[in-house]
């Protein structure tokens, strides 16, 4: 270790946050760019499966909730893109890296949202899993990332609540509505568990990320926390979690769960999920089709600047 590296690690060990202009090892910077940009892309792509249902929300109450949630996600993507930029990256390049497939986003958004009950399942499970992850990341060692997480956590609590509330209503509704809710849980349960990433034994970056305090808990720890929180919530709804091996271990107080299908996980991460192509092309097209708007705004700003100068 060089002296700079030693000083850096000593700061981390004392829980002193790293700020943009502080010296940091290249690998730390690279890890942050990868993790934070992936997080930003997830917020942005995450708008698509829910945006899909805004026009078909069954009531005005549900519609304003969904609109507000999707709008928040755009904001959260922006906080994170801004935070990534503090590491010296070019924002448009960061975005293009997702469109070219070089950068990833959370695999959960490559699953389709087929029924209205999916809006409940996404809020309850997907946002629930994201919150577990993000609450832990509030204490991450990089200042701008940590601050973005604090802001996001503050705003995101309603995302999960509105989804769960929606499911309570469906589960107290007709038989068909309850079946829709069960079907949504069946489809979203396992992909939600996969959101925490590969198992610790198969996660090559975890040890270094923990040493740098970029991550504060391992993937498996967070996954367990999410399961322990969620099972009683499913019981309350009267829904069955689609895992025959799920059972409470009375000694540890934790739920034991069945084997996750990691082949499916890696298959979706590698671009072969049900919606990968659709999601990426929706984002790339949106950038391409909006170019003239951005150019017009730039031209207008320039014209105003000249006008002011002359006056």
Partner 1 sequence: MTNGNWPLWEVFIRSRQGLNHKHVGSLRAADQEMAIENARDVYTRRSEGVSIWVVLSANVHASNPSDKGPMFDPAEDKVYRHPTFYDIPDEIGHM
Name which position in 71, 157, 281, 285 contacts partner 1 (CB under 8 A). 71
The 162-201 site mask, x for binding partner 1 (CB under 8 A), equals: ----------------------------------------
Q: Does 261 bind partner 1 (CB under 8 A)?
A: no
Q: Do 120 and 184 contact (CB within 8 A), yes or no? A: yes
The only residue of 7, 208, 304, 306 in contact with partner 1, by rule CB under 8 A: 304
* Using rule CB under 8 A, residue 202 touches partner 1: no
Residues 92-121 that bind partner 1 (CB under 8 A): 92-93, 96
| 63 near partner 1 (CB under 8 A) | no
Write down the least CB distance from residue 154 to partner 1, Å: 8
295 binds partner 1 (CB under 8 A): yes
Q: How far is the CB of 90 from partner 1 (least distance, A)?
A: 7
In the bound state with partner 1, the residue whose beta carbon lies nearer, of 132 and 152, is 152
Cβ 241 vs Cβ 256: under 8 Å: no
Question: Does the protein bind partner 1 through residue 270 (CB under 8 A)?
Answer: no
Q: Which of 11, 63, 91, 213 binds partner 1 (CB under 8 A)?
A: 91
Per-residue b or e along 101-122, where b marks 16 or more CB atoms closer than 10 Å to that residue's CB: eebbbbbbbbbebebbbbbbbb
Residues 4 to 43: which contact partner 1 by CB under 8 A?
19, 21-23
Shortest distance, position 157 Cβ to partner 1, whole Å: 12
- 95 in Cβ contact with 81 (< 8 Å): yes
Among 6, 58, 61, 82, binds partner 1 (CB under 8 A): 82
Candidates 65-73, 123-131, 228-236, 249-257 — which segment interacts with partner 1 by CB under 8 A? 65-73
3-state helix/strand/coil string of 258-282 = CCCCHHHHHHHHHHHCCCHHHHHHH
Q: What is the contact mask toward partner 1 in residues 132 to 151, using x (rule: CB under 8 A)?
A: ---------------xx--x
Stretch touching partner 1 by CB under 8 A, among 74-82, 170-178, 225-233, 247-255: 74-82
By beta-carbon proximity to partner 1, the closer residue of 259 and 292 is 292
Give the one residue of 27, 211, 301, 306 binding partner 1; rule: CB under 8 A. 301
How many residues touch partner 1 under the rule CB under 8 A: the total is 30
Q: What's the Rg (C-alpha) of the chain?
A: 21
CB of 77 to partner 1, least distance (A): 10
Q: Applying CB under 8 A, which residues contact partner 1?
A: 19, 21-23, 68, 71-72, 75, 78-79, 82, 85, 90-93, 96, 147-148, 151, 155, 291, 294-295, 297-298, 300-301, 304-305
């Amino acid at each position: 270790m060089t002296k700079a590296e030693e000083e850096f690690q000593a700061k981390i060990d004392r829980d002193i946050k790293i700020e943009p202009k502080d010296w940091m090892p290249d690998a730390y910077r690279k890890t942050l760019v990868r993790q934070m940009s992936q997080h930003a892309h997830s917020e942005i792509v995450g708008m698509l499966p829910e945006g899909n249902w805004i026009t078909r929300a069954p009531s005005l109450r549900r519609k304003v909730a969904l609109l507000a949630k999707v709008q928040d996600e755009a904001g959260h993507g922006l906080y994170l893109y801004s935070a990534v930029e503090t590491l010296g990256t070019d924002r448009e390049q960061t975005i293009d890296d997702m469109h070219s497939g070089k950068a990833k986003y959370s695999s959960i958004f490559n699953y389709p949202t087929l029924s209205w009950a999916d809006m409940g399942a996404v809020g309850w499970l997907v946002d629930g899993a994201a919150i577990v992850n993000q609450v832990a990341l509030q204490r991450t060692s990089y200042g701008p990332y940590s601050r973005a997480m604090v802001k996001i956590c503050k705003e995101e609590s309603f995302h999960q609540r509105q989804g769960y509330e929606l499911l309570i209503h469906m589960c107290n509704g007709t038989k068909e509505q309850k079946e829709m809710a069960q079907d949504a849980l069946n489809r979203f349960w396992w992909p939600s568990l996969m959101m925490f990433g590969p198992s610790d034994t198969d996660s090559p970056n975890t040890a270094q990320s923990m040493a740098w305090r970029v991550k504060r808990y391992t993937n498996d720890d967070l996954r367990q926390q999410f399961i322990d929180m969620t099972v009683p919530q499913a019981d309350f709804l009267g829904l069955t979690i689609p895992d025959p091996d799920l059972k409470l271990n009375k000694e540890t107080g934790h739920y034991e769960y069945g084997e996750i299908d990691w082949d499916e996980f890696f298959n979706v991460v590698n671009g072969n999920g049900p919606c990968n192509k659709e999601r990426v092309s929706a984002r790339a097209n949106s950038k391409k089709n909006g170019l003239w708007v951005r150019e017009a705004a730039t031209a207008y700003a320039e014209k105003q600047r000249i006008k002011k100068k002359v006056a």
